[in-house]
Structure 1
Amino acid sequence: MPLPHWTSENVLPPGRHPADLSDIYERFVWDAPHRNEREILFSALSGYLGVVCRLIPSGRAWIAGGLAVRSAEVPRDVDVVVIPDEWGALKRLDGPARSLFYGMFTLRGVIAEQPVTYLEQIQPVNGLVDGFLCHPGDEDVWEAAWSRGPVEGSVKGFAEVEW
C-alpha cells in the first residue's frame, strides 16, 4: 500500500503508515526535492534495515526525520527507531552479532581513548542514519516524538516498515 500524499504542510498525514522500501522510495525520494541527496539517504536506510533485519528475526522500524519531510532544505539524515518483536532474540545474540547490533544505534556523549576525544554524537552509516532502539513499553514515547510536526503544535505521520 503506497504512502499517502504530502499534506499542505509538506508532511505525511498524522498516523503510522505501513510501507515497504519501494513505497518509501516513491514518496520520500521520487516525490520530493533534492532527489540526489535523498537517493544517498535512501541507500543508507536500505542498507541499515538490511543489517537490522538480519540480526532481528522480526520487528518494525519507524521512519522519520529529514528524509520524511518534503522540504526546500536538503535533508541531512533519516531517523529510524527499531522495535523488535521479541527481546529474547537480542539477548541470544553472540559476541560478533551483538557488537554489530549495538553499533547500529546512535550514541551520544562518547569519550574515546588514544587519543582522548569527546564526540557529541556517533551515528550509523557515517551519520546518514540516526538509529534508535525502542525498549518494551516505550512505543508511546517514540510515537509522540515521531509525530511531532515541524511547526510547534503540529502533528505529522511517519512510515512503518515491518519484517
Structure 2
Amino acid sequence: MPLPHWTSENVLPPGRHPADLSDLYERFVWDAPYRNEREILFSALSGYLGVVARLIPSGRAWVGGSITTRTEEIPNDVDVVLIPDDWGSLKRLDGPARAALYGMLTLRGVIAEQPAMYLEQVQPVGGLLDGFLCHPGDEEIWEATWSRGLSPGSVKGFAEVTW
C-alpha cells in the first residue's frame, strides 16, 4: 500500500502507515527535494533493514527522521525504532549475533578503550541512521515520539515496515 501524500505542512498525515521499501523510496526519495542526499539515506536504511531482518526473525520498524519530511532543508538522517515480534528471540542470540545487533543500535555516552575516548553518540551506518530498540510495553512512548511534528504541538505520521 503506497504511503499517503504529503500534507500542506510537508509531512505524512498523522498515524502509522504500513509500507514496504518501494513505498518508502517513492515518497521519501522520488517525491521530495534533494534526491541525491535522500538516495544515500535510503541506501543506508535499506541495508540496515536487511541486516536487522537477518538478526531478528520477525518484527516491525517505524521509520522517522528528516528523510520523512518534504522540507526545503537537506535531510540528514533516518530514525528507526525496531519492534521485535518475539523479544525472547533477542535473548537467544549467540555472542556474534548479539554483538551484530548491538552494532545496529545508536549508543549514547560511550567510553571506548584502546585508545581511550569518550563518545557522546555512536550511530550505525556512519551516522546516517539512528537505530533504537523498543522494549515490550514502550510502544506508546515511541509512537508519541515518532508522531511529534515539526512545530510545537503539531502531529505527523510515520512509516511502518514489517518483515
In 2, distance between residues paired with 1:40 and 1:122?
Answer: 19
Aligned equivalent of 1:10: 10
In 2, distance between residues paired with 1:102 and 1:119?
Answer: 16
Q: Runs of 4 or more off by more than 6 Å in structure 1? A: none
Question: What is the DSSP-based 3-state SS (H/G/I as helix, E as strand, rest coil) of the residue aligned with 1:158?
Answer: strand
RMSD after superposition: 0.5
Question: What is the DSSP-based 3-state SS (H/G/I as helix, E as strand, rest coil) of the residue aligned with 2:24?
Answer: helix
1:117 aligned onto 2:117? yes
TM-score, structure 1 normalization: 0.99
The one-letter code matched in structure 2 to 1:11 is V
Question: By how many angstroms is 1:88 displaced?
Answer: 1.1
Give the fraction of aligned pairs with identical amino acids, expressed as a percent. Answer: 80
1:39 aligned onto 2:46? no
Aligned equivalent of 1:81: 81
Aligned equivalent of 1:28: 28
What CA deviation, in whole Å up to 9, does each residue of 1:95-144 have, x standing for no partner? 11110011100000111122221111000000011000000000000000
- Matched residue pairs, number? 163
TM-score, structure 2 normalization: 0.99
In 1, distance between residues paired with 2:94 and 2:110?
Answer: 24
Question: What is the DSSP-based 3-state SS (H/G/I as helix, E as strand, rest coil) of the residue aligned with 2:118?
Answer: strand
Aligned equivalent of 1:135: 135
What CA deviation, in whole Å up to 9, does each residue of 1:75-108 have, x standing for no partner? 1110000000001111111111110011100000
What are the ranges of 5 or more consecutive residues in structure 1 without an aligned counterpart?
A: none
What are the ranges of 5 or more consecutive residues in structure 2 without an aligned counterpart?
A: none
